[in-house]
Amino acid sequence: MNATTFFTYGAQRWLAGWLDITAISVVMVTDLLIIFGGGIIQLVVQHLGELEDCVTSTQHLHHHCTQLPKENS
């Protein structure tokens, strides 16, 4: 085995090691964000539900104020 082959294999092993470390780091950070960010997602979903209720109530009020026929007195 000559020096060129030795350095090539060494560079490949070094690159493979750093690629594995980078992939593990990305997966760990993503997992931690999902685990600790779960409360935030739950809060956003809850507020979106409340917002939908408010919009529906406003639409009903607008419909009753503008499109219902008026009574004759």
Identify the sign of the CA torsion 29, 31, 35, 40: positive
Q: 3-state class of 9 per DSSP?
A: helix
**Segments making up each domain of the chain, as ranges:** 3-65
pLDDT for 43? 85
pLDDT for 21? 97
Long-range contacts of 54-60 (CB under 8 A, 24+ apart): none
pLDDT in tens, 4-46: 899 999 999 999 999 999 999 999 998 888 888 777 878 888 9
pLDDT for 37? 77
User: With a threshold of 0.75, does the pTM exceed it?
Assistant: no
pLDDT for 54? 95
Q: 3-state class of 55 per DSSP?
A: helix
Distance CA 43, CA 61 (A): 27
- Which residue, chain included where needed, has tokens 């030795």? 6
